[in-house]
Structures are given as C-alpha cells and as structure tokens.
Amino acid sequence: MISELSQRPVWTKMGRYLVSSELFLDAVFTARCSCACPWCIARTKERPDEDRRAWEEAVQDAFRLFPIRSVIILGGEATEDPAFFEKLKFLTQAMAGHSAEQLILTTNGIMLRDENFLHRVASSRIDAVNLSRMHDSQEINDRIFGRPTPTRSEIQAMNRELTARGKTLRLNVNVWRGNLDTVEDMERFARAFAGCCDAIKFTPLMATDMFDTIEPVTEYTEAHAIPEREIAALWDAFAARHGETERASRVLGFVDYASVSACGQRVILKYAQVEDKYDRSSVIPTLKVYPNGCLSNEWSFTKDIREGMRRNV
C-alpha cells in the first residue's frame, strides 16, 4: 500500500520530482484509432495490452494519491473504445468526492457525428469537448486524418447540442511547416469556423513531448515542427493584428497562453516552451493512466510511477 503524498518527493527514471498541488490527469481509454495522422504519438509506440480492471485500479490510485484538478479523456481515439460509456461512468464515479473540477473529452469528433452518441456525451458529466481539426479545407482535413471528418455544419450542430447543456466545444488546431503557418492561414481558419465553437486553439506541433521525456516523436514532426522562436513571432504577429490580447498566467508552470478575438471568434495561442529547459526539480504537472493500468508521468505505458514510490516512500 502506498501512503498519501503531501508534496513529498517522487522518484522516476528521470530523477527526483515534487508533485504539483494541482495536476492534470490524462485518462487514456484506448490506444486504438482508425485515423492515420502522420505526427501521432500512438503510431510511434507499440500498443499496450488493455486491462480494464488494472485501468480502473490506476484511476482510483491517481485520485487517492494525487490532487487532481482536471481530467482529460484521451486515446488513441477514446470514442472508438467499445467500453467508452462504461469507462466514462467509472471515471465520473471516481471523481466524486475529490477535488477534480473539470472533465474534458479530446476527440477527432467522428463518432460525434452520430446524433445518439453526441446526445449521450452532451448528457454526461463531461464539461467540455476539444475537437481536433487541422485545416479549414474539408478535403485537406480528411486527407490529413486519413478518413472523412466532421464538416463545418456538423461541428456547428455539435456546438448547439453541447451549448444547450452548458458545455463548451473547442477546436484544437496543430500548426506545422506547410500547414496554417502564416497569419493569413490562421485568419482564414478563424473565419471559416467563426460561430461554430467557443474557441479555436492553435498549438505548435512539437518535435518532442513537452516534458522532454521522450525521443523525437516521428520523422514527420522532426521535419515539420517550427522552431520555438518562429512560433512566438507568428503568434505575436497574429495577436498584434487583432488588437487586444489577454495574456493568461502561466499554465503548468511553463506554458503561456494568449487569448485574442479574431474574425469575431475567440482564439487561443499556445506558446512553445521558450525557456532553455523545464526545471525538472520543480513539479510533476500531469499524469497519464494507460489502458494497461500503468500510471505514469511520461509517454510510456511501462514505467509506472507507483513502482518508484513504493521503493522510496
């Protein structure tokens, strides 16, 4: 049995960490996904076995041991998990009585094209849906994902359903060399989806995991990731063109966000890590529960953080 943590040190293969007073928990439902996005982390890794009981135990341990602030449902593509709603129910029950404030679904939105599926999501404990969209052109977006994706009108319908139940829909957009990498490209995207969502978030495609815990993700990301200083200059140019910019406080200790109004649409700009290095001696800001029941602070489904804790607590 592992005792409760209270800002106590945790040892991992990367060394000694302290635990943040507020963490994000990435609940990875499944590694499966029928899309073929060229930068995807899941495509570079061997898929873990799926052990429902071990996954549930890891979720319970995460809430028992750590101060979880927000939970983000991930994959693979989480909505392709046949047990999606059963796991969602378990996660909802696990959150009860704990400090977690928000439950977010990250998805490509393909399953949400089904009205019944969308209705069940909108009626659930989920507070927000982050839908991945990579281009304003439907043809190009379908080609990037490798299959038909939600159209603008379908995204608009999703937004209406979610908004009617007090929830939000955000479009998550990756920016890389050759894809939406100019101010004009970003403005065109914002115009195309103005009124279809609560916000559009532009995020630079990063050649490594943001916590520096994995090797370069794919050859594609290495070749197409835009250097951090160029991203900062692009973001600043976009924000300057659209007047007032609300610079958010630093999130997770090292990532800056800026919020602007463009084309009548709220736009969030996620800055890359501009500092030389993230101070690993400070905190663990996020944890991941993998389908095989591994609880880790890395993009690794074999390095369970509980093992280091058992040895060192």
**Tokens coding 16:** 């000694």
Ranking 1-15, 111-125, 206-220 by mean pLDDT, the lowest is: 1-15
* CATH assignment, 9-312: 3.20.20.70
pLDDT digits (tens, 9 = 90+) for 172-196: 999 999 999 999 999 999 999 999 9
Domain boundaries, the chain: 9-312
Structural contact between residues 259 and 251, judged by C-beta atoms closer than 8 angstroms: no
Tell me the range of 16-20, 21-25, 153-157, 248-252 where mean pLDDT is highest: 153-157
Nearby residues of 264 by Cβ (< 8 Å), 6 or more positions away: 194, 195
> How far is 158 from 118, CA to CA, in rounded Å?
7
Q: Residues 285-296: what's their mean pLDDT?
A: 90
pTM of the complete model? 0.87
CB 202 within 8 A of CB 171: no
Q: Which of 44-53, 212-221, 297-306 has the lowest mean pLDDT?
A: 212-221
* Cβ-Cβ contacts under 8 Å for 96 (sequence gap 6 or more): none
Q: Is the pLDDT of residue 281 over 80?
A: no
What are the tokens at 20?
């943040």
**Helix count and strand count (H, E) for the chain:** 9, 12
